[in-house]
Structure 1
């Protein structure tokens, strides 16, 4: 194994200011403060973060402190070391300043608050209830009742429901002209304020520049304008699914609001992406998912199958979903979330990869005993040890396996798998 690369050169003040810090010293101070909290295991949210997020933190830290990964890849049988090597390698194109900034950004994202730091992301601190759009549950209930009434008046059982346009999170100047077949693609992302996931707070909790660039990159790839949905958009989608007779999921709104009362915004976003897919179809991407070299074919974008990414252990991931509207498996997922989301389970088990995979095994086999299949898949520590290496921080879905799932309610000619 070769020696690590030499220490990076001194930090560039101009680069640090470009990223919103006062100077390089300010950036380094915040980076070291976040790293110390992580190293000393001082933050409960960091301790409970997914292993994939911890690996990303590790990769950014190594890139920031050691520079480009110049060590040999460990042998495959050492999964933990391979995962760490992959995480560092994935950050190889970042300079030291950006690696530090991304580390801080990831720290804030994991903890849900930047109160420990003095970073630029503190422009969006957790605020008191006086500043929330919905000040109490009565206001939420009133809004939901109004939505339900409007949906009942405008509902059509034959067409997918639309809901209010998403808040724009990237500048219109960067928009590509809409031209190719992908003009029909509903490409969307979700960005909510963890302190108030029911409200529209794009101004108070803006999309970070790196994520906005990811949105633009995907737009350019498919020559289509993307939607970035905020908290109120997601709430509206949940209300419409709850009122949709074809979804047969009237309890979804109650579950969603209960998750909100428990500040369980990650589960809420997991559910919202599936609800929006049910209503409008299209392609969902996590905002931190970087563009890879592969372009999805028109078959993959517009056929009648529901497409997910699965990892090397055949565990379904939810950072990419492509589906037509009202797909049978998407409805099945919504029902699974209703029965599963409020239980005291880790988000990975409740609404994330474990839930998706066990739901599909139940769906594809025709079994009705979802709980038994779920228990077989997510059996405590064994499942979490597998979870730790399931995607090796790789947010570029082209490196994973894209898998299509046919809707059994459709004619067999339209449900071929590739």
Structure 2
């Protein structure tokens, strides 16, 4: 959420930032709501002051025996009291309208973010590793997995519908190995604290990281029928399934004032993630790339504002490192203003080369959000003067296990349809060095 004071001071800056994001100007409407609320607050304060003055005058009138004046003052107090009661309801309505308008605004991009409309305007900043030469026509991951008998999309559709997969045998083991390897790297090598967070969260937690209210259609929500057979909205029976561990990890700082000396807080988790993918109809319908349920290692940093820019570079390097350890070829791009996520003010996407598709595909996204999420969560620290200030938050994939599985399958496939195991994963696979074309593990 943006600071209303910054919009008051420089409304043109907000509209310019929204234009860069491809959005319509909003400062005029925001300031109209803000002015209405402030004007109403002034009227309420004046009424409260007048009521207090009249209340004090009643006693004086009675003391001098002026019953007529006392009666008039009592009537005046009653009128002020009625106005204040109604006015407090109006204040809540105006505050709610302003908060809703502010909550709908995306974050403001940093000055060094390239301007652009979509992914075609993203800017490459570096390459990692060598693009592989297979020496034969590579297959896509789902062709390999189905031929091995270890990826079953048809049975998954019977169980749960489209965009699900039943993973079997050695491939299930390989995906688990990838998750453990990446989490161990982020915790043991890169200094993140491992967290096992809840997978179901309340509305206010989703709001804190920016998923609600804007992206409700892209989320899954639990529900339970009440005694009358109606769908319940009870806090414990209507919870959101996390789309990423960013949500619970970042909200660990919500409604708190953290000790500045302990910053940065670096947190990591390997969790299932759940996304409705409502905005991706028709995209990547084949294979394991865009699923409703997937596993991911997430990194979150809670930092001092002065450290957040450097922390973004560090976090991105941590994600790039696990892909380098897997021997994968990557490119890192900085997203343009039109392609950034709602809550980000700068984002790096790491894309991995997939020989079967002959293209780069996103495998990690690392973003700094500034104080945007912290304002929504009321997450703060105390500055040198003891005054509470908002922390900065960052999040990034470290990385998505399913997409890493795709990358390993396509980059390490053999000509006969088998799959070599990257060296760093062999210990996690119990010594297996190859998955044969018929799905058997070879040591």
Kindly indicate whether structure 1 or structure 2 has the higher relative contact order, using CA contacts under 8 Å at least 6 residues apart. Answer: 2
Greater strand content? 2
TM-score (normalizing by structure 1): 0.28
Greater helix content? 1
TM-score (normalizing by structure 2): 0.26
